[in-house]
Structure 1
Amino acid sequence: MKSTLEQIDAIKRDGYSIDFSNVFNHAFENYKKIAIYSGVIMLILTLIFFGFFTILSAFYGNLQGLVDNYIKALGNTVSVEYLTIMGVITFITALFTPIGAGFLKAAECADIDEKINFSTVFTYYRPKYFFHLFSLAFILGFLSILLNYSLDSLGIFYLGAALSLFISYFTFFAIPLIVFGGLNVFEAIKSSIILVSKNPITIFGLFIVAYIGAMVGIFACVVGLFFTAVFSTSVTYAAYFSIFDNEEKRDPIDSIGRSDLE
């Protein structure tokens, strides 16, 4: 079977077809299988982190003053303090990127009727995946910060946020290309750009639907966000495997668009 990069080269040359309704239906059916599980896991993780910071506050005193200083610094998007704090936040966020990728693994397990465990979401903390996922999140996150900082310094407000969204759109497939396709960081970014640019309208529609679907929980109930956020993961998963036919469901030896590292 052709490797992921070989298929990307073929797509670059010949393009590919993708049907919005088929991907959406696949994503929605898959989402129904993992929504409760994923929501509970996200809620548990949130409570764990909340407990951690509560204990940290108890040991190191009232953190309100520190938080207030952070908020003040974040209000000035052209300050060095803003750049530093956002860099730290990006680093911390990147550390948790494998958990987001883990929900892709949960989507795959649900799709092929495999058992999903609590440990499933931590699958990609293994060294061979972690470095690439962390690097991807940190590079893209810090690039967005620099764009915001530079444009705000020039007095061009809001454009930075739009460009950040633009970056997210063109790297829509970067994470699945790493965890399912076995690509490194720069191969994944380049390949994602190729995939999106070959079918920009359909992918943009899926990108928007994924974002809106994930945000529905905020309007219904803030807690509901835990159960709807993973909808975007289902859309990404379904879109990826609509392009790379998921042959490993039928033959675990021969796989297409799939890493051979597992």
Structure 2
Amino acid sequence: MNEASRKISLDYVIKQSFKYWSSTLFYQLIFTLIYFSTLLILGKFLLDYYEIYPKIQEIAPLMSSNPDEFSSAIQEITFSDNFKYFSMMVIVATAIIYPLNIGFFKIYTLIDAHEKVNINDLFAGFSGSNFFKFFGYYLLWGGIYYYLKQLLILPGFLWIMFTIFVTPLLYFTPMNLTEALKISFKVVGGNFFIIAACSVLAIIFSYAGIFLCFFGLFFTFPFWNAIIYTLFKSYFRIKFV
């Protein structure tokens, strides 16, 4: 594997990413339905298990009758040990469904090869050892991100940006996690501004669907994967699986 030496323009990344995204709208919808329904089910279970939801129901009337007391009660809940345990378990819940993202990498390679795509390709991240590889990676990634984002917005964003190539490196190459992290940090460091711009674009567009009657989120949320794949293809010369 060699890092591509040519400069990549933002215009090129945007055009290529939108090409992948627009040609896989059906799979974007399926992905988002599975992703959010799974998180909602697991999240509701965790809220009940850690007795957070019942407490929120108890103080809900205060929202209109006594906003200050409501705010104080919410703050007490969020600083409780149970809420900390809940937050940690949300990372585990997200790690369970995270391998679903890998399916888009396979789908995009099939599109590049002009081969037929089917619904099973979306679940490539759950086949064989892939699930355990990406489940374990997200536990580490999500745990670090959880602490960084509590400091300021910037540390969390930088963690997202500098690890942007780790997932495709783990999928497309035989690298271990340490090697993938090292390479990702190196390539991002050498192409900081273009990757920073692409990361901001990906975040904005992925959540832009919320403003389209909210339903638009079902199509825009997975856009991040198209950005990652386009950047990865641009900076790495490897044989894709």
User: Does the CA contact (< 8 Å) of 1:214 and 1:225 recur in 2?
Assistant: yes
Deviation at 1:17, TM superposition (A): 2.4
Deviation at 1:93, TM superposition (A): 0.8
Change (3 A) 1:179 1:194: same
Which stretch of structure 1 is more off in the superposition, 37-46 or 84-93?
Answer: 37-46
Aligned to 1:163: 155
User: Does the CA contact (< 8 Å) of 1:41 and 1:118 recur in 2?
Assistant: no
Deviation at 1:99, TM superposition (A): 0.2
Structure 2 unaligned residues grouped into runs of 5+? 58-72
Aligned length: 224
Change (3 A) 1:215 1:98: same
Deviation at 1:83, TM superposition (A): 2.8
SS of equivalent to 1:17: coil
User: Does the CA contact (< 8 Å) of 1:102 and 1:120 recur in 2?
Assistant: yes
* Partner Cα separation in structure 1 for residue 142 and residue 216 of structure 2: 26
Summarize deviations over 1:147-174 as a string: whole Å, max 9, x none: 456x5xxxxxxx1x43222211111111
TM-score for both structures, normalised by structure 1: 0.73
Indicate which of 230, 233, 238 corresponds to 2:230.
238
Aligned to 1:88: 89
Indicate which of 49, 53, 68 corresponds to 1:67.
53
Deviation at 1:68, TM superposition (A): 4.0
Deviation at 1:234, TM superposition (A): 1.0
| Paired residues for 1:1-262 under 5 Å | 4=1, 7=2, 16-43=6-33, 46=36, 66-69=52-55, 78-147=79-148, 151=151, 159=152, 161-245=153-237, 256=238, 258=240
* Partner Cα separation in structure 2 for residue 74 and residue 140 of structure 1: 27
* Structure 1 vs Structure 2 CA RMSD: 3.1
SS of equivalent to 1:223: coil
Which stretch of structure 1 is more off in the superposition, 83-92 or 182-191?
Answer: 182-191
Structure 1 unaligned residues grouped into runs of 5+? 152-158, 246-255
Deviation at 1:76, TM superposition (A): 5.5
